[in-house]
């Protein structure tokens, strides 16, 4: 069954107040029945992290999509193959960003961003993850596989693709199908989109959103999702940028 993908990124109140751009970004595509998607969250402390998030998400999705198209990787691949594919795609995107930074007289760290991505069909797949944010996959009964955020010593610390130790923090989480719904989100969406224990989506938010998105086309659904994420009521929950992808 084809994927119906809706996604949006909304600027957070703290970014509006501070004159900063939205530093989240996402990219997604489908190769036949395979979904490839990435959400990146740029570091608030870095001046060009929004550019890093945009470049990393787009490049990683394009790289993995090409491998899926060529038959080099599939959602049913082994953990070893999954890990190698995610690592190679991220490494190539990171290297391209490093070249850009050098050419423009910037530090690679200026483009710092986290990354959570998915490659899946309806029979299963895998999440790949560096830093915070969440990936979740649910079956029709609501059973959930979650790729959890990784933070540092403190809750507001995390790890970035641009960091020297990024490979040590690359995590791959297999998804056992059947898969009804896939979610990717930045940490700004987590407080209202995930249950407090992060074991599953927050059903009071998730269920009506998914029902509505299924009733409209992807473009209309993405616009509606942007409206939900931009609702001023979310500012009482989080001041951060908020990105949510629902497939």
The 8-class DSSP code of residue 237 comes to T
Q: Say if CB 6 and CB 211 are below 8 A apart.
A: no
User: What pLDDT score was predicted for residue 19?
Assistant: 87
Q: Is the whole-model pTM more than 0.85? A: yes
Q: Using CA atoms, how far apart are residues 62 and 100, in angstroms rounded to an integer? A: 18
User: What pLDDT score was predicted for residue 180?
Assistant: 98
User: What pLDDT score was predicted for residue 111?
Assistant: 98
Q: Using CA atoms, how far apart are residues 181 and 129, in angstroms rounded to an integer? A: 18
User: What pLDDT score was predicted for residue 152?
Assistant: 64
- Provide φ and ψ at 113, rounded to 5°: -155, 150
In this structure, the number of other CB atoms found within 10 A of the CB of residue 233 comes to 8
User: What pLDDT score was predicted for residue 154?
Assistant: 57
State which residues of the chain have pLDDT below 70.
152-156
Which residue, chain included where needed, has tokens 């940028």?
Answer: 241
pLDDT in tens, 201-246: 999 999 999 999 999 999 999 999 999 999 998 888 999 999 999 9
DSSP states along 113-181: EEEEEEEEETTEEEEEEESS-EEEEE-TT--EEEE---B-SSTT-B--TTSTTGGGG-EEEEEES--SE
Domains for the chain: give ranges and CATH numbers: 6-231+241-246 (3.60.40.10)
């Amino acid at each position: 069954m084809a994927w119906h993908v809706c996604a949006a990124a909304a600027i957070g109140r703290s970014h509006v107040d501070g004159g900063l751009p939205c530093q989240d970004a996402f990219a997604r595509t489908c190769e036949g029945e395979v979904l490839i998607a990435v959400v990146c969250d740029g570091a608030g402390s870095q001046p060009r992290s929004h550019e890093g998030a945009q470049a990393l998400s787009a490049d990683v999705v394009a790289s993995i999509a090409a491998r899926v198209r060529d038959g080099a990787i599939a959602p049913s691949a082994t953990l070893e193959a999954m890990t190698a594919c995610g690592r190679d795609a991220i490494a190539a995107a990171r290297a391209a960003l490093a070249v850009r930074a050098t050419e423009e007289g910037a530090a690679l760290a200026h483009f710092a961003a986290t990354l959570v991505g998915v490659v899946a069909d309806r029979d299963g797949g895998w999440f790949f993850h560096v830093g915070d944010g969440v990936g979740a996959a649910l079956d029709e009964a609501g059973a959930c596989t979650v790729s959890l955020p990784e933070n540092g010593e403190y809750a507001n610390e995390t790890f970035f693709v641009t960091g020297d130790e990024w490979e040590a923090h690359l995590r791959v989480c297999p998804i056992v199908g059947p898969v009804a719904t896939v979610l990717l989100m930045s940490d700004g969406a987590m407080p209202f989109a995930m249950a407090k224990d992060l074991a599953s989506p927050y059903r009071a938010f998730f269920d009506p959103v998914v029902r509505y998105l299924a009733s409209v086309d992807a473009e209309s659904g993405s616009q509606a999702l942007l409206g939900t994420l931009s609702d001023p009521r979310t500012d009482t929950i989080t001041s951060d940028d908020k990105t949510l992808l629902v497939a």
